[in-house]
Structure 1
Amino acid sequence: MSLNLADIRLEYSKKELSPDDCLPDAVAQFEVWLNEAIAAQVAEPTAMNIASVDPDGRPSSRIVLLKGVEDGQLLFYTNYHSRKGQALEANPYVALNFFWPELERQVRVEGKAVPVAPEVSDAYFASRPYTSRLGAWASEQSREISSKAVLVTRAAMFGARHPIHVPRPPHWGGYEVAPDRVEFWQGRPSRLHDRVAYVLQPDGSWRRARLAP
């Protein structure tokens, strides 16, 4: 049985978007849309697809949760030894994608990801639930394991080692992405979607313009 994907179509018509509607600062505009997504109770409003390129030039992507927007930068946390961590060490440039279908919106962010200061990672790690902190020690992210029992055993081992206070593993921490290009997409009827792109200028200001869909 084959699937007829060609007939799957939706008409988008909830809102419009023009450069005049947008704030001068791209990250400030992103925060407006993010807050609207949270207020609308969309599913996983902070979920973002992160695309990176490994040392061999092969792209890969995965879903990660945004954990902060501070000083014009987007923050997320991960295992530095993971596949994404190794890719970012070789090539720090990433592309982020947020998709909020309930609002017929998408945001694309491009920029450079650099590790945050250790004290920033320490503070966020301390705020995580106890079991999540143990999980950061137990999971050797992206490595092959023989069974799930390996994870359970390692979690129990680190739980016995850290029954109360769980320090941050040295291989786990945050990245901050400094955007240099941000695009806002609003779905519109007949596939004549609204697209507004921001490009960071040498003086730190943002140039914004409408793009053809």
Structure 2
Amino acid sequence: MEKPLSLADIRSNYSKKILTRDAVSDSPLQQFDVWMQEALTAQVEEATAMTLSTADKNGRPSARVVLLKALEPEGFIFYTNYESRKGQQLAENPFASLTFFWPALERQVRIEGKVQRVDQASSDAYFQSRPRGSQIGAWSSPQSTPIENRQVLEELEQQYTQQFEGQDTVPRPGHWGGYLVKPERIEFWQGRPNRLHDRLVYLATEEGGWKIERLAP
């Protein structure tokens, strides 16, 4: 009989790259863009996928994977249903963290900051760039609420497909739009041998700049 795999015995020894202070940008957003472009060039699977962690008013956390849709000078933008669980938590507690993990490059980025909704024009513009099926889906899903079965979703999808049939564009639902995560702390992690990883953290200063520190792994 095959011996069950022991989780304690699973380990990788990272050795592809190094991360030094001299090699990084003074701006964490510029440095993130460099790493993102390298992940895209390397064709890392789902390179824009990030774990979004939020907490309710009592500090109870929850996390899920969403997609980064824009990197702006102010921060990181994603889109979702405002009435979803994450939307409700962000209304109660407008802070969040984002985590990117690119195992093919042995890299991780952790971002923490305050969250605000993007303006309606930006949400409208992005919504109109989505495939029509995804637009209908945004209307059809009462995200995070219990439903009896999948047929409920299929019936709602059919309902909204018929409602917008013949229209050149599908309007953005008022309960759907974008969020901007304005970073206050960004950490870049590069895997290194023997678990002695490289960690550089950017901390926002009161003057509007960034302080860079090396952290022990």
**TM above 0.5, one fold?**
yes
SS in 2 for 1:208: strand
Counterpart amino acid of 1:194? D
1-structure distance, mates of 2:103, 2:188: 13
2-structure distance, mates of 1:161, 1:71: 38
Counterpart amino acid of 1:69? L
1-structure distance, mates of 2:50, 2:24: 21
Moved over 2 A (4+): none
2-structure distance, mates of 1:70, 1:211: 27
Taking structure 1 as the reference length, the TM-score comes to: 0.98
Tell me which of 50, 63, 77 is aligned to 2:65: 63
2-structure distance, mates of 1:72, 1:28: 11
Question: For the Cα contact (< 8 Å) 2:112–2:185, is it kept in 1?
Answer: yes
Counterpart amino acid of 2:199? R
2:184 matched residue in structure 1? 180
2-structure distance, mates of 1:177, 1:4: 38
The RMSD of aligned alpha carbons is 1.0
Q: Does residue 119 of structure 1 match 2:128?
A: no
1:81 matched residue in structure 2? 83
2-structure distance, mates of 1:20, 1:72: 24
Counterpart amino acid of 1:11? N
1-structure distance, mates of 2:4, 2:94: 41
Percent identity for Structure 1 against Structure 2: 53
Q: CA deviation at 1:2?
A: 5.5
Aligned residue pairs total 213
| 1:193-208 alignment runs, 5 A limit | 193-208=197-212
SS in 2 for 1:173: strand
2-structure distance, mates of 1:110, 1:126: 29
Counterpart amino acid of 1:78? T
Counterpart amino acid of 1:154? L
Please identify, of 174-183 and 52-61, the stretch whose mean Cα deviation from structure 2 is larger. Answer: 52-61
SS in 1 for 2:145: coil
1:137 matched residue in structure 2? 139
SS in 2 for 1:182: strand
2:163 matched residue in structure 1? 161
Q: Does residue 10 of structure 1 match 2:12?
A: yes
Taking structure 2 as the reference length, the TM-score comes to: 0.96
2:101 matched residue in structure 1? 99
2-structure distance, mates of 1:141, 1:2: 38
1:32 matched residue in structure 2? 34
Gaps (5+ residues) in structure 1?
A: none
Q: Deviations over 1:92-139 (max 9, x none)?
A: 110100000000000000001100000000000000000000000000
Please identify, of 103-112 and 161-170, the stretch whose mean Cα deviation from structure 2 is larger. Answer: 161-170
Q: Deviations over 1:164-206 (max 9, x none)?
A: 3210000000001110100000000000000000001111111
Please identify, of 156-165 and 168-177, the stretch whose mean Cα deviation from structure 2 is larger. Answer: 156-165
2-structure distance, mates of 1:133, 1:170: 12
1-structure distance, mates of 2:117, 2:39: 27
Q: Deviations over 1:60-115 (max 9, x none)?
A: 00000000011231000000000000000000110100000000000000001100
